[in-house]
Amino acid sequence: MADLSSIFAPVSAPADASLHAARVVLAITAAIFVIVAGLLAYAIVAFRRRADDDGSEPPQVYGSDRIELAWTVVPILLVVVLCLVTARTVYDVQAAPKPPGAIDVTVVGHQWWWEIRYPELGIVTANELHVPVSERGNRSPTFLTLESADVVHSFWVPQLAGKTDLIPNRRNLMWIEPREPGLYRGQCAEFCGTQHAHMLLRVYVEPRAEFDRWVAAQQAPAAPPDTMGRRVFESTACVNCHTVRGTDAAGTFGPDLTHLMSRETLGAGAARISARTLDAWIADPNRMKPGVLMPAMQLSGPERWRLVKFLVSLR
Ligand code: CUA
């Protein structure tokens, strides 16, 4: 199972528990299917119409306490077992205690991107979640508080955990505890408008030292250069929606751009980030992501290029 987004290749505790529960349910339901389909196939073959049939009705049987009892009691028992398996898994995941080394992250769903905040570390980023790998003896699971700025979204990274919705005016909690470094991909799993399919998530699970380096880099001020590009940025509507710490821009409607180039994608996975894609994005975001809420900025070619040069300096 090399697929990087398969539920059958979990690398984190809640996803392990979900897969285990799913396997038990699948085994029970597969056994039911084999028995029922087997009996059906047997009946179809054994009692098929034959050449020497005389056309009369077979003997009609009405009522059998034993059979009726069996097909009532057995399904009830099966449903009870399936309920208990599910309830136990749900309880185990929800009641998991938070160890001291846990990381807190708040994820806010927006049409159509993910705002990612680390309240204790003072970091704000978007679409790409960085978490440390959890080690035996030095556990560091990540506890996620899920909120929504507009409609219902759903946070789903199949290899790490099941889905949890992000609901306006409500806080949902979930956690992940990845045990293998790597990049795990996910996406919004609840229809949230035209660009629902382009609301991708990237989770970077890093060894502790690498995660600490990332944290330090994100905490540092952006140190934006005082260039013409910066003046273009600060004098257009960009600042109403975006924040770049250290400049006049403090908008919160769109993603924080302070360390824009530390990310690999733009537009929640719409494209790889580069000067070329940023230029195309600013020229007409709607072309790369139809329905996107960011308007085209109507800048002249040279102005746009200065702005792009400013943006690619945000490391
Ligand atoms: Cu957000 Cu679908």
Tokens of 179: 């045990």
Which atom of ligand 1 is nearest to 189's Cα? 2
Position 4 scores a pLDDT of 62
Which atom of ligand 1 is nearest to 190's Cα? 2
Residue 147 Cα to ligand 1 middle (Å): 12
Position 2 scores a pLDDT of 46
Average confidence (pLDDT) over 198-214: 95
Average confidence (pLDDT) over 40-68: 89
CA dist 135 and 208 (Å) reads 9
Average confidence (pLDDT) over 113-131: 95
Is the CB of residue 242 below 6 angstroms from any atom belonging to ligand 1? no
Cβ atoms within 10 Å of 109's Cβ, excluding its own? 26
Average confidence (pLDDT) over 242-248: 86
Residue 256 Cα to ligand 1 middle (Å): 19
Look up residue 228 and give its amino acid: M
Is the CB of residue 201 below 6 angstroms from any atom belonging to ligand 1? no
173: pLDDT strictly greater than 50: yes
Average confidence (pLDDT) over 296-315: 88
Position 1 scores a pLDDT of 41
Residue 24 Cα to ligand 1 middle (Å): 30
Whose CA is closest to 197, among 293, 296, 290, 294?
Answer: 290
Is the CB of residue 130 below 6 angstroms from any atom belonging to ligand 1? no
Residue 146 Cα to ligand 1 middle (Å): 13
User: SS3 for 135?
Assistant: strand
What's the distance, CA 200 to chain centroid?
Answer: 7
Average confidence (pLDDT) over 162-173: 96
pLDDT confidence band for 300 (50 / 70 / 90): confident
Lowest mean pLDDT among 56-60, 182-186, 201-205, 209-213: 56-60
Is the CB of residue 194 below 6 angstroms from any atom belonging to ligand 1? no
Average pLDDT, rounded, for the chain:
91
* Burial per residue of 84-108, b for 16 or more beta-carbon CB atoms within 10 angstroms, e otherwise: ebeeebeeebeeeeeeeebbebbbb
**For 73-88, what is each residue's pLDDT tens digit?**
999 999 999 999 999 9
Average confidence (pLDDT) over 270-284: 92
**For 136-155, what is each residue's pLDDT tens digit?**
888 999 999 999 999 999 99
Per DSSP, what are the bridge partners of residue 142? 103, 176
222: pLDDT strictly greater than 80: no
55: pLDDT strictly greater than 90: no
| Cα-based torsion angle of the residue sequence 189, 197, 250, 285 in order, rounded to the nearest 10 degrees | 180
Is the CB of residue 232 below 6 angstroms from any atom belonging to ligand 1? no
Taking phi over 0 as left and psi of -120 to 50 as alpha, with beta for the rest, 194 belongs to: alpha
Is the CB of residue 202 below 6 angstroms from any atom belonging to ligand 1? no
pTM: 0.86
What's the distance, CA 242 to chain centroid?
Answer: 23
